A = this chain, B = another copy of it.
Amino acid sequence: MNLKQLSQMLELSQTTVSRALNGYPEVNEETRRRVVDAAKRHGYRPNPSARRLATGKTGMIGYVLPTGAAVDIDPHFVEFLSGLGDYARAHELDLVLSPADAEEQETTYRRIVANKQVDAVYVSSPRPQDSRVALLDTLGLPFLVHGRSDGFDFDYPYLDIDNEGAFHEATRLMIQLGHRRIALINGDDRETFAIHRERGVRRALAGNGLALPDDQVSSTVMTEESGYRAARRVLEGSDAPTAILCSSLIMALGVVRAVRELGLTIPGDLSLVAHDDVFSWLKPENFSVPLSTTRSSIRAAGARVAERLIARLSGLEDGARGEVWPVDLVVRGSIAGAPARA
């Protein structure tokens, strides 16, 4: 059933039927009712391809997926997606994943825009002065950043968590517990979140006359293995830390393994705090010693991103509002007062 048939059936023009269905005001309410009613009865659904050609609107949001043999999609992505999908579902909003060479995403963004493939996109894992943000800004495609990209002289809409605040707070707690030598096992420091976390740590330390020596911070891809390596390195160093802050639960697994191998104990010899994005398949309370965490549901963020994106598309949100979520600090068994200096 298409518009033509429906309009003939109602003995109305396609114009009127189309307008009635799309809520235009210049249609008699009585007529509108008839139309809406008939449409429902006959299960009429406007053909999206046709609508798309006519309007340029697709009813889809996009995401450029960085790929490549050496590129691993972050497992956080899937959790984010759960939230996004969960919200988008209610709006029959689909998500288009456009795979792109991780090193050359610009072409893909341009293609998406030129082809009008989506109404908006979201961007994740941004870096300072992220080229994607700049590009999207000039291309004029509506977008929302999950995270933040510092260093622009224009505003853009984003949703981020207070990474700096979270790590500042966690560090402050460590200091109050008497820790003086604190190490940071962070994510890739080309990304903003890692930079913010490090900044939070440094600020808290500086506020207490302490510093974060370069050899006490590691910034790498967030795998179990790199967590392990970083932990071994600092713990076997001459001035081993008594507390470690860690950017992910997965890395924390590696840290725990290193600690165990070295015959140390948590929290006796080492206090450990990690950031928890909230996975159902790995929970901090289930670590051999329950892990203290800075916690923020990345899934909730996904849902919120979908919500805001939809709001933008329907004109309910405009401007370039940045939204920053506070982060919980959840204390569990993995932290304790600093051990007496050996």
Contacts and interface: CB of A to CB of B under 8 A. Distances in A.
Interface of A: 45, 47-50, 52-53, 56, 58, 60, 65, 67-69, 71-75, 77-79, 81-82, 84-86, 88-89, 92-101, 111, 114-117, 221-225, 228, 250, 253-254, 257, 260-261, 279-283, 286, 288
B53 A67 contact: no
Given A48-B117, A72-B79, A224-B281, 18 more contacts: A49-B52, A49-B53, A49-B56, A49-B115, A49-B116, A50-B53, A53-B53, A65-B81, A65-B85, A71-B82, A72-B280, A89-B100, A96-B96, A96-B97, A222-B281, A223-B280, A223-B282, A253-B282
Contacts of A48: 115, 117
* List of 9 A-B pairs having minimum Cβ-Cβ separation, nearest first: A85-B99, A89-B99, A67-B85, A223-B281, A72-B280, A95-B97, A78-B78, A67-B86, A49-B53
Given A81-B65, A86-B68, A95-B97, A114 B253 contact: no
Contacts of A261: 288
Nearest to A299: B72
Main secondary structure of the interface of A (DSSP, over half): mixed
A253 B253 CA distance: 9
B67 A89 contact: yes
A14 to B, nearest CB: 16
Given A49-B49, A85-B67, A117 B96 contact: no
A257 B71 CA distance: 30
A305 to B, nearest CB: 13
Q: In this complex, which of A45, A60, A97, A253 has the most chain B Cβ atoms within 10 angstroms of its Cβ?
A: A97
